[in-house]
Amino acid sequence: MLRKWLTALVLVSMVVVFFTLPVLAESLSGKVEVNSWWTAGGEAEGLNALIKLYESKYPDIEFINATVAGGAGTNAKAVFKTRMLGGDPPDTFQVHAGHELIDTWVIPGYMQPLTDLYKSEGWTESMPQGVLDIVSYQGDYWSVPVNIHRSNVLWFNKTIFTKYNITPPSNFDQFFDVCDELKEKGIVPFVMGTKEGWEAAHVFESVLLGKLGANDYNGLWTGGVKWSDPRVTDALETFAKIASYLNTDHSALTWDEAGQYLLKDKGAMMIMGDWTNGWFMSVGFEGYGWAPPPDTAGIFLALSDSFALPKGCKNQENVVAWLKVLGSKEGQYSFNKAKGSIPARTDVDISDYNDYLQSAAKDWQKDAISPSVVHGAAASEGWTTEYKDIISLFVSKPDVSYTQKALVTAAEEYLKK
Amino acid sequence: MQIKGDKWTPILFITPSIVAVGIFVYGFISWTSFISFTKWNNVMPDYTLVGFENYRKLFNNMRFQIDLHNTFVFTVIFVTSCLLIGLLLAVLIDQRIKGEGIFRNLFLLPMAVSFIVSGVIWRWLFNPGSFQLGNIGVNQLFEKVGLNFLTCGWYTDPNIGIKAVAIAAIWQFSGYTMALYLAGLRGIPLELREAAAIDGANQWKTFYYITLPFLRPITFGAIIILGHISLKIFDLVVAMTGSGPAFSSDVPAFFMYDTTFRGNHFAQGASIAIILLFLVSLLIIPYLITTFRKEA
């Protein structure tokens, strides 16, 4: 009984506070529910750093950290979609900047523009054009990017490379020479884990980029370059050849389980996004080196996690406060240091980040920037899913002409829309 | 208070559940089938009717073709093996052996484990390992006991794929089938067996002419239960293998999840759901018809 009275008392006082506080002071109260799929290792640490910062600035807001586990966010996205379509939008949720944001949420009209926020916070100045491009649609900005990841990185085991006196291959001829040499020595030349279905497609986007270059690779996704192009055929043939050097158990492993080959000095190279750097740090592995995958030097295949403001969310002001923290210098600094990615802003001092991140940040400033497909930047989710299925089948059934035809059909269907 | 003869009281009591089932089962079935005829293949709902377009596309989709084939293979292997192993275990336990309770529980136990848990465990067991890192799991066991020729790629081999998943499912459900059969065996009147023995029938003949015919309704029921489990299978596949190499362990339910929530193809997902419903009804309707006939 006492508890009931207390609850009522608290509720009443909350209502009173709610109506009086905005008049008295600017400080915010209530709740904010932030939805993401950052549950593991460095990601979760990064998120916690942000939460700490947010709570120190807005101590009266109850922060609800709503995470849904699952690689690449598949499960989390299912939850967000159900809630958005069901008319119960989450306050704010994690979404890949680019087509995943624009095609899925902005064009159908589920989001609110953030252009005013961008101007008042000065983000139009502090974020590079490449980032501003992928979060804008029809002259407005639609989400706040927290980080930049690079998709095209070739990781290699330094011990093996030093032992056999190998330098990182810069083109595909050298790459296959290295593969042959390592295979003879009984080392898996190239490792991959394909258990979750998107990993092969991830590697293939680097191959495509290597064969077509930044401009024409972008053209594939905008309709400027046809998928029937002979260079796509070449890319598929090359990828089939790469697949012949793989670890045989790839379909039993996720990307990080496949990374064990590198840790144990049994595998030499893998292509994976630069969250691998964070993973290497978290497992205490230091004998790794990195290079751009063959023929992709000077091109930065980028993806970015961002947060947006859905229409009809319940705690709008608190969400805007959250977005401000995300876009702030200190927010970007502390989040990315823990997650192992680079800040989307170019004016953050990152001199105490690790070597890989420093080099990535340098490349980010000078390289040509292309959007990643598998991670939602280059194409709509429908197209991405189909692309991933086609490539995933190709790894086990490397039929080049059939696969190219399927890619052409998919492109026709989605470019039409 | 007079309850007897009051027509309305019982109706009042079952109305809530009828309404709930009406909305949440039949309502949503109709809604799903409506969606499957629309153009809703993006996040934004689009209720333009397109007839059988989604179905046409689906049957032309290579992934769906593989899925149907996988479902067929899985169902055949899973149902027949469960029936055979279940029957065998039930007959063995029915011999009035010592410690019957222990064995019964032991065989039934896998069913108490969720598909997610058993999926993860079987993923580890059937992980083939590799040449460089050495054999692990079941392959390592085979190697240790000198059965090297039995080692294989399990679910990482596109030719095995779904069959490896079927093994895990059989492990989980043959105990349950055993329980069904055991109940059936215990329901056979002892006099019949005695009479058969007096007439000079040997064990095998008794089994064939007395036991099996009595177990027929049980078999029928078990096929329905196992069959619809195998058509709907989702969690085991997700936890154990995912789509597998060349979709060799992919199933329609997983494709439905993938295309709906990853690809935003809500109409296509709905069509898969309707096809699954159709397949399950192929199993259930004959069963319902025979049951109702018996009761009438």
pLDDT tens digits, residue range A224-235? 999 999 999 999
Residue A143 backbone phi and psi in degrees, to 5: -155, 160
Is the pLDDT at A368 greater than 80? The verdict is: yes
Min mean pLDDT across A73-82, A88-97, A149-158, A386-395 is at: A73-82
Closest residue to B43, CB basis, from A104, A250, A261: A104
Q: Residue A334's Cα: distance from chain center in Å?
A: 18
Listed in sequence order, the residues at least 6 apart from A143 whose beta carbon sits closer than 8 Å to its beta carbon are A95, A97, A101, A111, A114, A135, A306, A307, A308, A309
Q: Distance (Å, rounded) from C-alpha B15 to C-alpha A265?
A: 67
Contact state of A252 with B127 under an 8 Å Cβ cutoff: yes
CA distance B154 to chain A (A): 9
Q: DSSP characters for A26-85?
A: ----EEEEEEE---SHHHHHHHHHHHHHHHHH-TTEEEEEEE---GGGHHHHHHHHHHHH
Q: Which of B41, B132, B155 sits opposite A382 (nearest CB)?
A: B41
Is the Cβ of B187 closer than 8 Å to some Cβ of chain A? Answer: no
Question: Does the distance separating the beta carbons of B262 and A77 come in below 8 Å?
Answer: yes
**Domain check: are A36 and A56 in the same one?**
yes
| pLDDT confidence of residue A22 | 44
The token pair at A332 is: 């970007």
A165 and A116, same domain (yes or no): no
Q: How many residues does chain A have?
A: 417
| Domain-located, residue A308 | yes
Average pLDDT over every residue of A16-33: 62
- Tell me whether residue A395 is in a domain: yes
Confidence band, pLDDT 50/70/90 cuts, at residue A130: confident
- Interval A62-99: pLDDT, tens: 999 998 887 667 788 889 988 988 889 999 999 999 99
A222-265 confidence digits (pLDDT tens): 999 999 999 999 999 999 999 999 998 888 888 988 999 999 99
Residue A59 pLDDT greater than 80, yes or no: yes
pLDDT digits 0-9 by tens, A203-217: 999 999 999 999 999
Q: Which residue of B has its CA nearest to A386?
A: B263
pLDDT per residue as tens, chain B (296 positions): 555 667 888 889 999 999 999 999 999 999 999 999 999 988 888 899 999 999 999 999 989 999 999 999 999 999 999 999 999 999 999 888 888 889 999 999 999 999 999 999 999 899 887 766 677 888 888 888 888 888 888 888 888 989 999 999 999 999 999 999 999 999 988 888 889 888 888 888 888 888 899 999 899 899 999 998 999 899 999 999 888 888 999 999 999 998 998 888 999 999 999 999 999 999 888 888 888 887 66
Q: Closest by alpha carbon to A182, among A193, A166, A169, A171?
A: A166
> Measured between beta carbons, which residues in chain B are less than 8 angstroms from residue A194?
245
Instruction: Tell me, yes or no, whether A15 lies in a domain.
Output: no
A14 lies in some domain: no
Q: Taking CB atoms and an 8 Å limit, are A248 and B42 in contact across chains?
A: no
Tokens 């069904």 — which residue?
B180
Same domain, A334 and A393: no
| Residue A25: per-residue pLDDT | 43
Residue A264 with chain B: CB contacts under 8 Å: 133
Q: Taking 90 as the threshold, does the pLDDT of residue A338 lie above it?
A: no
pLDDT reported for residue A14: 56
Q: Please, are residues A132 and A351 in contact by the beta-carbon 8 Å criterion?
A: no
CA atoms in the 13 A half-sphere facing the CB of B118: 21
- On average, the pLDDT of chain A sits at 89
In the block, tokens 């759901």 appear at B273
Task: Specify if A3 maps to a domain.
Answer: no
Per-residue pLDDT band at A1 (split at 50, 70, 90): low
For residues A188 and A246, the answer to whether their CB atoms sit within 8 Å is yes
A-contacting residues in B 27-86 (Cβ below 8 Å):
41-45, 62-63
Overall average pLDDT of the A342-364 stretch: 91
Domain boundaries of chain B, sorted by first residue? 66-266
Asked if A121 and A74 sit in the same domain, the reply is yes
State whether ipTM is beyond 0.85.
no
Where does a domain end: A366, A387, A403? A366
Of the ranges A27-31, A170-174, A411-415, B219-223, which one carries the lowest mean pLDDT score? Answer: A27-31
Same domain as A126, residue A75: yes
Verify that A85 and A221 share a domain, yes or no. no
The CA-based angle A388-A152-A352, given to 5 degrees, is 135
pLDDT of B132 reads 65
* B132: contact with A, CB 8 A cutoff: yes
CATH number for the domain that contains residue A406? 3.40.190.10
* Closest residue in chain A to residue B126, using alpha carbons only: A252
Range of the domain at A277: 154-301+370-416
3-state SS class at A143: strand
DSSP state, A91?
Answer: S
Phi-psi region of A371 (alpha: psi -120 to 50; beta: other; left: phi over 0): beta
- What is the Cα Rg of chain B in Å? 24
pLDDT at A21 over 50: no
**Distance separating alpha carbons of residues A120 and A103, to the nearest angstrom:** 26
Q: Residue A248: which of B153, B246, B248 has the nearest Cβ?
A: B153
Closest Cα of chain B to A248: distance in Å? Answer: 6
pLDDT at res. A192: 94
A336 vs chain B: nearest CA distance in angstroms?
Answer: 26
pLDDT of residue B255: 94
Tell me which chain B residue has its CA closest to the CA of residue A108: B44
Nearest CA in chain A to B268: A382
Structural domains in chain A (count): 2
**Nearest to A117, CA basis, from A344, A345, A325, A342:** A325
Angle between helices A230-243 and A400-416 (to 10 degrees): 130
Are A236 and A389 within 8 A, CB to CB? no
Minimal Cβ distance to A382: which of B130, B153, B264: B264
CA atoms within 13 A on the CB side of B237: 30
Give the pLDDT confidence score for residue A327 in this predicted structure: 93
Burial A373-387 (b: 16+ CB within 10 A, else e): bbbbbbbbbbbbbbb
Higher pLDDT, B243 or A25: B243
Shared-domain flag, residues A126 and A244: no
The reply to whether A403 touches chain B by the CB within 8 Å rule is no
Is the CB of B155 less than 8 angstroms away from the CB of A251? Answer: yes
Residue A406 inside a domain? The answer is: yes
For residue A2, is pLDDT > 90?
no
Residue A362 shares a structural domain with residue A374: no
Residue A4 belongs to a domain: no
Which positions in chain B touch A248 (Cβ < 8 Å)? 128, 130-131, 153, 156
Domain contains A5: no
Whether residue A410 has pLDDT greater than 90: yes
**Average pLDDT, integer, range A32-39:** 90
CATH superfamily of domain region B66-266: MetI-like (1.10.3720.10)
Amino acid letter at A187? I
Rounded distance between C-alpha atoms, residue B40 and residue B46, angstroms = 5
Domain match, A51 and A131 both: yes
What pLDDT does A227 receive?
Answer: 96
Query: For residue A249, which of A266, A224, A265 has the smallest C-alpha distance?
Result: A266
> Is B158 within 8 Å of A396 when comparing Cβ atoms?
yes
